[in-house]
Structure 1
Amino acid sequence: MFEGKAQAARNRQDLVMQAAWTAAALGRIKKMPRLKDMLSAQPKRSKPVSWQAMYASAASWAAAFGEIRTEGDAA
Structure 2
Amino acid sequence: MIEFVPDIPRWRQVTDVIRQRILDGTYPPRSRVPSVAQLMEEFGIATATCQKVHRALRAEGLIYTEPGLGSFVSKDLPGQGPG
Report the TM-score when normalising by structure 1.
0.27
The structure whose residues are more often helix, as a share, is 1
Instruction: Give the structure, 1 or 2, with the largest relative contact order (CA under 8 Å, sep 6 or more).
Output: 2
Report the TM-score when normalising by structure 2.
0.25
